[in-house]
Amino acid sequence: MSEHDADVVVIGSGFGGAVSAARLAQAGLRVVIVERGRRWNAEDFPRDRSLRSGWWWHRDRGLFDVRWLDRMLSVQGAGWGGGSLVYANVFARPPAEVFDERWPSSTSRAALEPYYDLVAHMLEVSPVGPDPQTGAVPARTTLMERSTATLDRPAESMRPQLAVRFGDPDVMVRNRHGAVQAGCRFVGECVLGCPQRAKNTLDHNYLFVAEHAGATARTETEVTAVRPEGSGYRVEATDHVSGSTESWSASAVFFAAGAVATTELLLRMRDVSGDLPDLSAQLGEGFSGNGDSLSFLRRRGEPVELGRGPTITSATIVTDAPSPGEKPAWFVLQDGGYPAVLASLVAGMNPAQAATAAVTRALRRVFPRLAEKQTAMTLLMMGRDSSNGRLVLDHHLEAAVRWDNRANSGLYRAERALARSVGQAMGARTLHTPIWTILRRAVTVHNLGGAPVGTDPDSGVVDEHGEVFGYPGLLVVDGASLPGATGANPSATIAALAERRVEHFIRRFTGDETWVPPERAEVVPVDVPEDAAIQRMRTQVTSEPPPRGPEGAAPSPPGVHFTEQMSGAVHIAGRRERT
């Protein structure tokens, strides 16, 4: 009989936690998954336009956890399935050079390839399919592809793999894991919680597998402490429904609460309670917003239903014009469907209750106009920022980030300039988020870093297997352990790393060096559209002279490298914009 209540406690149910829990349970281990958020059924996602019910974590434990981290605004999902509930579905593999910097030599794109394939199989990814209403891909998709083809520099568009079920929206079917889903209705509300069960969120795959393999789920329960006890660890948590305290002893603990929450909890354990005093001095370092940038386009002329379809349907890789002898810098730009409900939400905001009244007023001017006649869309961009942020605890013992906008200004300028170029090509007006234009705060939905991987405690918090230096059995398996920006949507990389790390852990814990996930034999690799686009781009760069600017001079590079197979938007500048 084991001396522990569980073999492993998994903190969080996002990509790292869901992957880990499924594999641990399949291997026969006793697993407890602790998730602070609630379970969301398709009919439960918030649509209350008064913003009074179900939206904000800080108000009523709602769907979105929005934090002002000093110089950056962070947005993440809260619920059973983590960020998958509100992410834009993109499954993207970064190019190999992303792993050349900061990563351990054993962690390469090639080493992760079989794990990317496994995650793609579990998420059942595919490119955007035909709209059941029209029989064709969304108008936004082809409009973006035509517009980016006119840019004055090499650019390659692609249709990324999406974790969405395409098919008849009126027929419920069981997916390959046994969960019931329907086909996508193309209502464009992926980032607000899919009301159709067409989005392949983690509760339809990995978490479904975990529970059916015997894992115990404790939702609406938030971990408050982790400390060594005997041959393992004691985990304490607060039940948000009853207010009671729960506790488990376990041989191992997997941290997967998201980059901010995982780092915040570890900082409290080291610096406040002293329960984990020997955590590396690198804790909190290497924080990145993944170069995220958001702009809005309002197209003039004949209305097109730009809101139809999944949130993202296309991606374009663009290169800058580097100086002779320099490596090209790659960026990715993605289209974004604009849910009309956002206009009503922002219009209903009370400036007196907002963190910054000027931003609220600006949003109320921008969003309602964007909703007119379905002429609006978003441009989603990301790139490889400097990853030089530092997460610390503020006087409320909550996470804040020390972020240097100046060190990342070249990337931000390039992204905004690209948005303007695409807007011009599309015959649209470009509007940037007021959170940046007024407050100079970056906005990210891709929080990374804080407990970075390293070769020893002087260079990182965890080793290549995700195990915390100095604390055997403590693992970090979420975005906190990434040592820098990926430049692409990071969920695929987080999940692939978790697959690799949990496989290593299971083999060591059980003594079975041959253990593999049961689905491994079923995996059929899918196409990698970003790799093909990058190859086409490289062919262009080597075969064409650099494009000239309007005065005949080559455009100056923004000085930022994007090494990603992105599921995000990235662009490059012609003329520099003042900050």
The predicted pLDDT at position 214 comes to 98
pLDDT over 90 for what percent of the chain? 63
Q: Is 77:86 a contact under the CB 8 Å cutoff?
A: yes
Residues 523-538 have pLDDT tens digits of: 999 999 999 998 888 7
The predicted pLDDT at position 561 comes to 38
The predicted pLDDT at position 578 comes to 35
Secondary structure (DSSP) of 513-553? TT---GGGGG--PPP-HHHHHHHHHHHHHHHSPPPP-TTSP
Helices (H) and strands (E) in the chain, counts: 12, 22
The predicted pLDDT at position 352 comes to 42
Q: Residues 227-241: what's their mean pLDDT? A: 97
The predicted pLDDT at position 328 comes to 57
Query: Beta strands 390-393 and 399-402: pairing type?
Result: antiparallel
Q: How far is CA 463 from the centre of its chain?
A: 22
The predicted pLDDT at position 68 comes to 84
Task: Quote the DSSP letter at residue 137.
Answer: -
Residues 487-523 have pLDDT tens digits of: 999 999 999 999 999 999 999 999 999 999 999 999 9
pLDDT tier at 541 (50, 70, 90 boundaries)? low
Sign of the torsion formed by the C-alpha atoms of 82, 445, 433 and 437 = positive
Residues 73-123 have pLDDT tens digits of: 888 999 999 999 999 999 999 989 899 889 999 999 999 999 999 999 999
Q: Residues 316-329: what's their mean pLDDT? A: 64
> Looking at the predicted structure, is the pLDDT value of residue 396 above 90?
yes
pLDDT tier at 437 (50, 70, 90 boundaries)? low
Q: Residues 293-301: what's their mean pLDDT? A: 82
> Looking at the predicted structure, is the pLDDT value of residue 235 above 80?
yes
Q: Residues 204-219: what's their mean pLDDT? A: 99
- For 175-234, give the secondary structure using H, E and C: CCCCCEECCCCCCCCHHHCCCCCCECCHHHCHHHHHHHCCCEEECCEEEEEEEEECCEEE
> Looking at the predicted structure, is the pLDDT value of residue 39 above 50?
yes
pLDDT over 70 for what percent of the chain? 82
The predicted pLDDT at position 57 comes to 72
Q: Which domains does the chain have, with CATH numbers?
A: 6-543 (3.50.50.60)
Distance in Å from the first CA to the final CA of the chain: 63
The predicted pLDDT at position 154 comes to 78
What integer best gives the mean pLDDT of the chain?
85
Asked which of 404-413, 417-426, 461-470 is least confident by mean pLDDT, the reply is 404-413
SS3 458: coil
Burial 500-531 (b: 16+ CB within 10 A, else e): bbbbbbbeebeeeeebebebeeeeeebebbbe
Rounded to 10 degrees, the C-alpha dihedral 208/166/158/300 comes to: -120
Angle made by CA atoms 417, 419, 424, in degrees to the nearest 5: 95
The predicted pLDDT at position 353 comes to 43
User: Which tokens in the block code for residue 482?
Assistant: 């990434």
pLDDT tier at 560 (50, 70, 90 boundaries)? very low
SS3 447: coil
> Looking at the predicted structure, is the pLDDT value of residue 547 above 60?
no
Q: Residues 159-180: what's their mean pLDDT? A: 97
> Looking at the predicted structure, is the pLDDT value of residue 576 above 80?
no
Helix (H), strand (E) at residue 370: helix 357-370
The predicted pLDDT at position 320 comes to 66
pLDDT tier at 550 (50, 70, 90 boundaries)? very low
The predicted pLDDT at position 556 comes to 35
Cβ atoms < 10 Å from Cβ of 318? 27
Rounded to 10 degrees, the C-alpha dihedral 15/308/442/432 comes to: 170
Secondary structure (DSSP) of 345-360? HHHT--GGGSS-HHHH
Distances (CA, A) of 63 to 224, 382, 561, 567: 20, 23, 33, 23
493 sits in the region (left: phi over 0; alpha: psi -120 to 50; else beta) called alpha
What gap in Å lies between CA 18 and CA 254, rounded to an integer?
11
- 21 burial (CB, 10 Å; 0-12 / 13-18 / 19+) is buried
Q: Residues 551-560: what's their mean pLDDT? A: 36
What gap in Å lies between CA 167 and CA 130, rounded to an integer?
8
SS3 29: coil
User: Which tokens in the block code for residue 488?
Assistant: 């692409």
Contacts of residue 384, Cβ cutoff 8 Å, sequence gap at least 6: 98, 291, 411, 484, 485, 486, 487, 560, 561, 562, 563, 564
Residues 173-196 have pLDDT tens digits of: 999 999 999 999 999 999 999 999
> Looking at the predicted structure, is the pLDDT value of residue 1 above 90?
no
- Bridge partner residues of 476 (DSSP): 255
Rounded to 10 degrees, the C-alpha dihedral 91/31/478/391 comes to: 150
Q: Residues 220-239: what's their mean pLDDT? A: 97
User: Which tokens in the block code for residue 328?
Assistant: 């090209």
